[in-house]
Structure 1
Amino acid sequence: MFSDLKRAAAAMALTVLVVAAPPAAAQAPAAPSPGEKIADALRRSPVYVDAAYADSVPTARQQQLVRQIEKTGLPIKVALVPIVQGDAYDGESDVFAEVVHDRLDERELILVTAGDRWTGDLNGFEWPGEEQQAADAVRTVGFLDEMKDAGLAEQTAKAVELIERGDGEKAYEEATDEALGPDSGGGSSARPDDGAAGSDKSDSGAGDSTWQPLITAALALALALALAAGVLFFFVRRRRRGPGTTGSPFAFPQAVFAAAREADEAALRRQTEAEVVALGDAAQAADTSTPALQQALDAYAAAGTVLDAARGLPDLAGVLALVAEGRDALVADGRDDALEGTSTPLPLCFFNPLHGRAERRIRWRPLGRRDHLHIAACEACGTAVRTRRAPEVLTDTDADGRSVPYFEIPADRSVWAATGYGSLLRDGEDGLAGRVGRGEFSRGRG
């Protein structure tokens, strides 16, 4: 009996131990998230370099950056981490920066990060305000000639130097003016708010508040006159063309690209069909002795080829790019007044040709490349790149069925990726029509 009691007591003790003991999984501490790991490292040192960049920024160079940052006396931290599409930050450096800022929980912080999937340039962020103008200071690095072939360590050191100076906005404006210059593709390379800034800095007194009502009224009157002239021009052209004809989409892009903004492929297909017909009519009405006529006819034939085989928005955008190429050929010879008065028109927007005609050429560095590209961009996309925001990009489907920016498709599979819808073509190279005529479009389909 006594042995039975001992066995019962032992069983009860074992039961208590089993119930009281926590599971093994609960005892093991949870692994820190990537953001927490980086923030923890930045608490120990103002420079964190991911293993992927260890060769570009070795330990000795990291220590030099640490000493440089400490001399500034500013709350600067550098986090050089690859930021790519599909990662925890969705390939966007501003998301990464917010994660690190939240984990650090520091009120004052200036953070320098590596480039994201939209650009290979460094990015700068500042909290709580913009006292050091860090964002402009860091983005200036990508426009400096001295940094063209510089490594990541040299670029980071330059970014810290510009942040310390505290005049990032001025430095950025000077660098972009020099880098873009008169070749920017139509218009000043100044930022969208340069006009307002210039009026404040001017000695003419135009920025005085007493003049603002007059200036505002004058601008409003000018806008009203411009709108009235545009409406009159539209109806005069419509009457000259006759009923049932279709105007140029590049004279009035808002009419053509409205369907694209709604992502209505069927509506856009109908619109592109009308534009191909309109190009054919314009070429037919042209003088048969002009050399430019053959270029327009080639573009017309290529546009028809692509339209017949178009599978989605990227191909339909290619049709519009070919129509633009054909129109430009006629305009260059003075045979079509749709774009009268223009000279060497730019192609459609590189990032999304459904945005319409590009406004200027800008410098842009794709992820994973050290060299910049000079591409044509619409005003909205150009502004987005300059202010380190993601432009609205036309997407395509890659070999794995994923939706990716169209220019990330291998060039041998997409004539649009190979040419940027015309942005990547150099003087003297065949245009889009020539490439489609050689079968590059069909080979990509195959």
Structure 2
Amino acid sequence: MPATAVPRAAPRAVHRLVTLLAVLLLAAGTALCGPGAHAAGGLDTVAGALRKNPVYVDPRAAGQLPAADADALARKIKDADKPVFVAVLPDAPEYPRATVLRDLRTKVGLAGVYAVHLGDAFNAAADRSVMSRNAVTNLVGSVRRTGGDTNAQLNAFVDEADRTARGHAPGSWGGTGKGVGTTGLITGGALVVAGGAGAYALYRRARRKREERERAELDALRVVVDEDITAFGEELDRLDFSPTETGATDEMRADYSRALDAYDEAKSKMAAAGKPDDVQGVTATLEEGRFALATLAARRTGAPLPQRRPPCFFDPRHGPSVQDVQWAPPGGALRTVPACAADATRLASGQEPMAREVQTAYGPRPYWDAGPAYAPWAGGYFGGGLLPGLLVGTMLGGMLGGPPAYAAGPEGPDGGDYTGSDFNPDDFGGGGDWGGGDGGGGGDFGGGNW
């Protein structure tokens, strides 16, 4: 390798190093300027604090989030290594509802997810490259509907935001949050020298945490996919088709061969899966196999061949859907979803469909309320951009709004990167108004009310 070449794995580490060094130099210069260099109050104070720590509580709102709870919330965000910023503020003139989120993002200058508890209202917004607008809107709505005190709401939001947000925590959170101090250029210079090792350590720590999280998510997905593969194998057995049976045609044998190949391929793909995204290929293969089985069954009985439709929305193990039905998740709006004959009949008679449930930290839940970890699993069954529209207003649907949660993030600054005020306000939004009826809509924000 030439002496000037840089390994391909280095750019992210180098970028973080540059960011961290810039922050440390700024902190050192601020220390030398004395107290007069610090902002007098308002959003400047909030922004300065959030550049050092993920959680800020205005002293006038301390009763809503005690110091111990704020510290625990900050540790949770730091441990997740995600760019999630939380501010608890009083309903005061210096924090205008219509602009507080965007102005806070401008002053902090770091791409990320911003959550604000303002008085008795809650709202959030995010850079599109970190979390889609639909994801933020649905997550804010879910938190509001769940209710609870300030601590409960913020923890509920952070739990999902930490799992969903793209990017990394800013390097400036690596310290104690108390700044450089007053020891002058010597201390500042020492920090800058140490910054290289610190930045690389942060990079390795973030990568390790990401790998640990992906392993845990893959283990959870493996349970669900193994159940799907087993169910498909049982369907093959129940069909009891023999290529040499009386009446078997070449078309039937071809259908059966495709189904067998899909079964073997799904098992091989799952055994080789190394990250959650790999699961999408497994369930796509199972969907192909189930359609081949449905076609074979129709040929054997002389029934009309099935149309190529998506699998049953409520449980893909039910096989290809036969019609579209109107359905709404609890608290959500009606939408059209594909359903198998059995679930269509149940809905028509006023019963609940037979939903596919998966295990969560809160017990068994329908997969669309199980969070973004199941996005690769569902994406293989409902590809081609169909899934986000089916799931609008659900937990999983919020994470699939815009670019899929299991796909690469959109263009824009990586979460935790410094941009200053140079960001597109159209790419920063989510929660919208504050839900209380007063306060503006926030211009280019969109969504609910404060």
- Note whether the superposition's TM-score is higher than 0.5: no
Question: Quick one: higher RCO (CA 8 Å, sep 6+), 1 or 2?
Answer: 2
The structure that has the greater radius of gyration is 1
